[in-house]
Amino acid sequence: MTRIFQILYFICCISVLSCHTKDQKKDEKTVVVADTSSIEKQIEDLTSQIKNRPKDADLLHERAKLFLEEKDVNSAYTDMTHALLMDSTKAPYYLTVADIYLVMNRTRFTKEALEKCIELDPKNVTAILKLAELYLYVQDYKKTIGYIDDALKIDIHNPKAYFMKGMAFKMAKDTVKAISSFQTAIEQNPKYYEAYIQLGIIFTIKKNNLALQYFNSALTLHPNSVEALYNRGYFFQENGNVDKAIEDYTTILKLDPKYKNAHYNLGYISYEYQKKYDEAIKHFSDAIASDPKYAEAYYMRGLSYEGLGNKKAASTDYKKALDLNGDYDLAKEGLQRVGK
């Protein structure tokens, strides 16, 4: 008995729900879910079916996935406990268990569940890529790429595999291979939004105008993406086109008035490029209102107050930045300049 199954068995033994070990008849295995957008209604329908067919593991599995979608991890876990005790031979069950353990941040058990899924279904690309993602999370890039290559042997046109490979190469600081992998992901799926974003970020670092093409492509797919707008605005800002940057940051704040980084960057532009310290203070104050623990915003507001000659207010902000981050050397220097 594997360790994951031992744990599930233990949970089941202490559960107040009854456990059933006999299989249902084959003709009773059809899972019927109401055609509705309401997950709660789907759960209700499945619960009614489970009352009539309590030994149907497939019904429990379907409900567990819905519970997980609703972030009800405990209920999802309980359903999968019973489903596996009824039938421990179905690979999709272990895939769902892996998702549950991942939400619970129990990566060791996530790994075991995925390995069991692959043992039962060696060509399960979803499980292989999830295992690759797990190794990416712990920064084991060699194993990550190894599992991705295994997935590509099964499905050479899988865009997610190429995207994940790009992420592994990017995190390993091999930008040439990262770019190639992200571009291949787009070749396989021209609507791969995340790949456009990653390519845009890489070319922003390179100060290459190709970044704009990738961010624009992302925005074509998702016109109201604050992520794409922010990254494009940052590219404009880093390359001296502050008017375009302001335009993107302002658009973001219409979509999400509490997007702290847009407030912060507007403040930075006002301070650094325009020398409009009053405006900078307003933007940094808005950033702080969005996140009261934003140490960098306190520091920059302190600099803005210092630019206006208001040493007392600057000192207060530098102290607050240091309260939030005791190792903030720039805040220490600012405090020394204006006097403690």
Q: What is the mean pLDDT of residues 276-285?
A: 98
- Express as a percent the part of the chain with pLDDT over 90: 88
Assign 9 a pLDDT band (cuts: 50, 70, 90).
very low
Instruction: Report which of 49, 100, 106, 97 is spatially closest to residue 72, judged by C-alpha positions.
Output: 100
Task: Give Cα separations from 205 to 175, 179, 209, 231, 244 (angstroms).
Answer: 11, 13, 10, 11, 18
For the chain, give the percent of residues with pLDDT over 70.
89
SS3 285: helix
Q: How confident is the model at residue 339 (pLDDT cuts 50, 70, 90)?
A: confident
Instruction: Convert 196-225 into a string of H (helix), E (strand) and C (coil).
Output: HHHHHHHHHHCCCCHHHHHHHHHHHHCCCC
Distances (CA, A) of 317 to 35, 198, 302, 314, 324: 55, 35, 5, 5, 11
Q: Indicate the pLDDT class of residue 27, thresholds 50, 70 and 90.
A: very low
Max alpha carbon distance in the chain (Å)? 82
Which ranges in 155-276 belong to alpha helices (H)?
Answer: 159-171, 175-188, 193-205, 210-221, 226-238, 242-255, 260-268
Residue 299 has pLDDT above 90, yes or no: yes
Length of the chain: 340
Whole-angstrom Cα distance, residue 64 to residue 79?
6
- Indicate if the pLDDT at residue 112 is higher than 80: yes
DSSP category for residue 23: P
Q: Is the pLDDT of residue 151 over 50?
A: yes
- Domains of the chain as residue ranges with CATH: 1-21+37-121 (1.25.40.10)
pLDDT at 277 over 70: yes
Distance CA 219, CA 251 (A): 13
Return the structure tokens found at 255. Answer: 């979509």
pLDDT tier at 146, thresholds 50, 70, 90: very high
Res 141 pLDDT > 50: yes
- pLDDT confidence bin for 170, thresholds 50/70/90: very high
Whether residue 136 is predicted with pLDDT greater than 60 in this model: the reply is: yes
- Model confidence band, residue 19 (pLDDT cutoffs 50, 70, 90): very low
Tokens of 30: 């059809």
The pTM is what? Answer: 0.82
* pLDDT band at residue 37 under the 50/70/90 scheme: low
Q: Quote the mean pLDDT of the chain.
A: 90
pLDDT digits (tens, 9 = 90+) for 212-221: 999 999 999 9
Q: pLDDT for 317-333, tens place per residue?
A: 999 999 999 999 999 99
> Cα angle vertex 66, ends 124, 32, to 5°?
85
Judged by average pLDDT, the poorest of 35-44, 126-135, 177-186, 231-240 is 35-44
